[in-house]
Amino acid sequence: MSVTPAAGGPIADLVPVRRALLTVFDKTGLVDLGRDLAARGVEILSTGGTAKALRDAGIPVVDVSDVTGFPEVFDGRVKTLHPKIHGGLLFRREVPAHVAGAEALGIGAIDLLVVNLYPFEKAAATPGAPEVDVIEMIDIGGPAMVRAASKNFASVTVVTSASDVPALLAELDARGGATSLAYRRDMAGRAFMRTAAYDAAIATWMNRDPFPARLTLTAERAEVLRYGENPHQHGALYRLPDTGEASVAHAKQHSGKELSYNNILDASAALDVARFLMYPCAVVIKHKNPCGAATHPTDLLDAFRRAHAGDPLSAFGGIVAFNRPVTEAVAEAMATADKFFEVVIAPGYEGRAIDILTSRTKWGKNVRILETHAAMEGREPVRGILDVRTVSGGLLVQDRDASIETEFKVVTRREPTKDEWRDLRFAWELCRHVTSNAICFAKDSTLIGCGAGQMSRVDSVMIAARKAGEKAKGAVMASDAFFPFADGILAAADAGVTAVVHPGGSIRDAEVIAACDARGLSLVTTGFRHFRH
């Protein structure tokens, strides 16, 4: 065995791989890698189960304990934390004193490190996992070696994912069994990103403060987008750790063009509405606001038809989300010549539903069909997930506006009817997803008019009333915040609204209640608001 390379000199571009250390939890592709390295004459060091897997495949392996002269101890907790391992990764080949020191101490150079870490993130995300089991998945030796090898990328190649092995083998083939400086630097950068994400996951799990003194966010790049919100902006989609909740970032795309930045924003908004509704529902989104929504106790097709009919003009080119699998009948109703959606997202597709959506004229090549990997049964969002927004020079962080049990209180002489109660609850649920000032008109569990993003609440009412038209007669209205004056409610009454739900709490509540009583309206308060800026 050659203990060290030539005694010092400038940093080399090409570094031959003569000695490698392989120690992996995920053994995908391990045997093929071992055989390839052995065929190249590379000496392979290894530990524990990795060494056994290689030996069982007939690949020659040197145990790390034979190199260090120290056995693996404490159930494998300590095996690679030794100068002959870390020295072999860290000493600088271009510094003569380092090379001489390695020779004197019998420390052999390690040119390649292949490590993937204990799956802590998976253990921490397992419901009901005992704390002791999660703690055992905190890797110590792996990250230490990865950081050592990455720091010394001038001479050492580090690979931290089984998915990067094919690229490693291609590099060795292209460089005659060596790796280039550019490749080593790139892999070191990836390795540091991996250890940073790993440590962040551990810190998050350890910390019980919902707003810790130092917030660390880690996400994996899923794809680079064609552009951002506008063509002159660059954009990319990053995935946060999977919580098991239905999401756009972790959804599977079955067909259609590449998702755009705006597609992803709108699809996420549609999914957020759909997940909150208890009954089978369809939700149509345009520019992050619902322009159509409906539920039915059992019939998803009926819900879709009513959701689309709520505002068919706005629905064209929008996003549609379902909280139940799309049936063939729903697919047939969607894929008609007079309708088109940029994105369809649902927890599943039954029978020939995908074939129907992808085979119709103008649909097949264009519509993006997404399937979430988790079911949506209404009011199921995972608690504790943070809502993070950027502001100039910082981040705004809050817990998200998840489902809250509302204590409805009738404050007028007239009680809502049974149908009005149903529609009031439906409209109130929708309001949390509409940009403030938010106004929703609903009738028969269907959104028939929406006013969003106006500086005046009365303007939002007028927009919703205009959208609803004649359907506003006998409808209900929900407002995300209180009416400071009676004018907005009176405008709704003029349009035909008969019942209203809002948070209440204005200094003029008595005036508003009196105006409702005078017009025979039923007014219900909730005690809290749903601003969405």
Each residue's pLDDT tens digit, 92-140: 988 889 989 888 988 999 999 999 999 998 898 888 899 999 999 999 9
In a domain, residue 530? The reply is: no
49-58, 146-155, 190-199, 218-227: least confident range: 218-227
* 366 and 249 share one domain: yes
Does residue 190 sit within a domain?
yes
- Residue 230 resides in a domain: no
Choose one of 314, 344, 371: the last residue of a domain. Answer: 371
380 falls within a domain: no
- pLDDT value of residue 3: 39
Per-residue confidence band for 382, with pLDDT thresholds at 50, 70 and 90: low
How many residues are recorded in the chain? Answer: 533
Quick one: pLDDT band at residue 473, thresholds 50, 70, 90?
very high
27, 82, 122, 151: which one is catalytic? 151
3-class secondary structure, 339:
coil
Structural domain boundaries, residue 514:
409-525
Given a cut of 60, whether residue 316 has pLDDT beyond it is: yes
Domain endpoint, select from 324, 347, 371: 371
For range 20-36, the mean pLDDT: 94
SS3 content of the chain, % helix, strand, coil (to 5): 35, 20, 45
Decide if 170 is inside a domain: yes
CATH of the domain at 433: 3.40.140.20
CB 263 within 8 Å of CB 249: no
Average pLDDT, integer, range 377-400 = 77
Q: Do 158 and 283 sit in the same domain of this protein?
A: no
Residue 428 counted as domain residue: yes
| Residue that wins the pLDDT comparison between 244 and 414 | 414
Residue at 464 is within a domain:
yes
Mean pLDDT along residues 160-186: 95
d(CA 330, CA 155): 59
Residue 106 lies inside a defined structural domain of this protein: yes
Look at the chain and report how many structural domains it folds into: 3
Residue with tokens 């994400």: 197
Cα–Cα distance measured from residue 158 to residue 196, given in angstroms and rounded to the nearest whole number: 15
Question: What pLDDT, on a 0 to 100 scale, did the predictor assign at position 5?
Answer: 47
Tell me: do 196 and 245 sit in the same domain: no
Alpha-carbon distance values, 344 to 14, 255, 275 (Å): 49, 10, 15
What pLDDT does residue 1 have? 39
Instruction: Mark whether 366 and 267 lie in a shared domain.
Output: yes
- pLDDT (tens digit per residue) in 60-86: 999 988 888 888 777 777 778 888 999
Both 324 and 430 in one domain: the answer is no
The reported pLDDT for the residue numbered 407 is: 86
CB-based burial, 340-371: b 16+ in 10 Å, e otherwise: bbbbbbbbebeeebbebbbebeebeeebbbbb
Distances 209 to 28, 180, 204, 205, 402 between C-alpha atoms, Å:
37, 44, 9, 10, 19
The answer to whether residues 121 and 197 belong to one domain is yes
DSSP H or E run through 66: helix 64-68
Give pLDDT, residue 402: 74
What single letter denotes the amino acid at residue 361? T
Tokens at 530, concatenated: 């749903």
Q: Are 441 and 476 in contact (CB under 8 A)?
A: yes
Shared domain for 272 and 333, answered yes or no, is yes
Domain boundary among 321, 341, 371: 371
Of 82, 250, 287, 373, catalytic = 287
Query: What is the rounded average pLDDT for all residues in the chain?
Result: 90
pLDDT over threshold 50, residue 172: yes
Residues 417, 499 within the same domain? yes
* Residue 287 is a catalytic residue: yes
Looking up residue 92, the CATH number of its domain turns out to be 3.40.50.1380
Under the banding of pLDDT at 50, 70 and 90, the label for residue 377 is low
Instruction: Residue 88: name the closest of 154, 33, 25, 21 by CA.
Output: 21
Phi and psi for 279 in degrees, rounded to 5? -85, 165
Are residue 114 and residue 172 in the same domain, yes or no?
Answer: yes
Least confident of 148-162, 205-219, 307-321: 205-219
Residues 452 and 347 reside in one and the same domain: no
